[in-house]
Structure 1
Amino acid sequence: MYKDIVQHISSCINCRKNKPSRRKPDGHLQSIEPPRGVWECLAMDYVGPVPESKSGYKYFLVLIDLFSKSNWDEKLLPTTYNYNTTRHDSTGYTPFELMFARSPRFMFDFISPPSVPLTTDTYRKTMQQFMEHTLLAARNSNLRHQLKAKQRYDSNRPNPQYYIGQNVIIRNRSLAMNKFSSKFIGPYTNVKQVNNKTYVVQNTKNNQQTPITVQDLRSI
């Protein structure tokens, strides 16, 4: 009788649509290949809406360089300092001058010039050696970090594969969804595999195609 119940539930589409999942979302981590230098690969996101500025702006764009992203917090202080000591067109003064009623003193005001200045060729060679070493070390560090992150993410996580032509249901992402709505909708037909985590499914009623990841898919 137990086997009959299990078989009935596994073949019941309505059961599959409404059964809650108590495991990690399906699909192993798909890592982005680490870039080989700065400005080669950027991550982009929008933030907002925020309180509207006098010029009418409500959103701002955040760009993160995926090669040099790990030390962004170290750049906050010099970035803030640079902003506060830069003259604004609207006021004609720097924020520092308006706040403290005097000009800021820079670190160059406290140091003496080197007694033996570097030649252009020596400086170029020194910087080239430094950058070659730094870029290689940063890339290797990124690779190690990605490997550890993938191992943690994939641990005890199912990674199902769906074949072309297989009937599936997809997670209900409707804004009008309530507690009595089905957690999954369908059926759909799997028509294409984009990568290890992403498929293209087709609605069996109107033939509309939708790209979707394995964490939002369920077989029927």
Structure 2
Amino acid sequence: MYKDINNYIKSCILCAQFNPRRQKNPGTLRPIKPPDGVWQLVSMDFHGPITPTTQRGNKYIISLTDVLSKFVVTKAVRDNTAQTAVRFLKEDIISKFGTPRCILTDNGTHFTSTLIDELIKQIGATHLYSTPYHPQTNGQVERYNSTMDAKIAALSNLRKTDWDDQLPFVTFNYNASIHSSTKQVPFEMMYGRSPVLPFDYQDTNVNISYDSEHAKKLSQFLSKLNEQARINIIKNQERYKQRYDMNRSDPTYNIGDLVLVKTINIRYKFDVRYEGPFRIIQTITPKTFIVQHVKKPTLYRQVTTDVLLPIFKRIY
């Protein structure tokens, strides 16, 4: 009788849709393997809207971070449209730093438009997406955003309407500081030299010398920095994964399984916490799936295991 009651409760779809989950979200962490070199993989995102709007009308920040070096490029912009993203890539990234090999973004409409697709095809890069339910995949930019906000707020005027004036200085400070993950300075990994800071040129003596082995030494220096950064990133990922995976279940799903999908934005207390039912129709990775709504066959979603809730089959 106990088993029957337990199965009846577990198989109640309506109950599962509204009940809050008491345990940690399921699914162990799968960190992104750091690339072999700088500009092999970059992540891009919009941050905002930021209030108040600046005197120039800017209310968003678009950021691009190199996954290996952690070097960041930022720009204050008025909107978060695809046109703005394309202009940023052309004018502030490709024309100044060259073409990145892979660009990681979320699934926002500003990054999934035909404008972005056409540009990425033209430059020969690869476009990778993080799922809307799993922002940790694109966590590079998000971690910078949280660091940046506090510093910009501290430097801005009382009305906070000049934060776009402070953005370049905060970004340079970030790039010129030792990163906690790589234990390296992003600027050095990007340019192969130390950043020149204000007042560094107080010594008026200028020494101009020629080194015929400069290119070879620079290549060796950058290779050493890149390798050490990769080692430090992997060590940091292992420590974080150990903490993240602690007391966390690691369920497996198969094609055909029925599941509920966690609602992204719950506005009211009585809103449905899990939508569905959905059926798993494709496996992208062991942790990422394409699901199809059972009652709305035209509705598809790309999801990860941490937002899925299995539907138990009722025995009778």
Fold-level similarity (TM above 0.5): yes
Question: TM tier, shorter chain?
Answer: 0.7 to 0.9
1:90 corresponds to:
none
Match of 2:246 among 145, 155, 169: 155
Deviations 1:52-92 (A, max 9, x none): 3454332221122211228989x967936xxxxxxxxxxxx
Match of 2:292 among 180, 202, 207: 202
Over alpha carbons, which structure has the higher Rg? 1
**Equivalent residues of 2:65, 2:71 under 8 A apart:** no
2:70 corresponds to:
69
SS in 2 for 1:120: coil
Name the CA shift for 1:138/1:210 in 2 (closer, same or farther; >3 Å).
same
CA distance in 2, matches of 1:78, 1:180: 42
1:170 corresponds to:
261
CA RMSD of aligned residues (A): 2.8
User: Structure 1 length as normaliser, TM-score?
Assistant: 0.74
Unpaired segments of 5 or more residues in structure 2? 73-143, 148-167, 174-197, 312-316
CA distance in 2, matches of 1:211, 1:183: 18
CA distance in 1, matches of 2:9, 2:204: 77
The within-5 A match list for 1:37-76 is 37-50=37-50, 51-69=52-70
User: Structure 2 length as normaliser, TM-score?
Assistant: 0.54
Which one-letter code corresponds to 2:257 in the other structure?
Q
Name the CA shift for 1:112/1:24 in 2 (closer, same or farther; >3 Å).
same
2:172 corresponds to:
79
SS in 2 for 1:110: coil
CA distance in 2, matches of 1:109, 1:123: 25
Name the CA shift for 1:140/1:8 in 2 (closer, same or farther; >3 Å).
same
Task: Tell me how far 1:120 sits from its aligned partner.
Answer: 3.1
**Is the counterpart of residue 22 in structure 1 residue 30 in structure 2?**
no
CA distance in 1, matches of 2:170, 2:306: 40
1:7 corresponds to:
7
Name the CA shift for 1:32/1:11 in 2 (closer, same or farther; >3 Å).
same
Unpaired segments of 5 or more residues in structure 1? 81-104
CA distance in 1, matches of 2:70, 2:171: 16
Residue-pair matches, total: 192
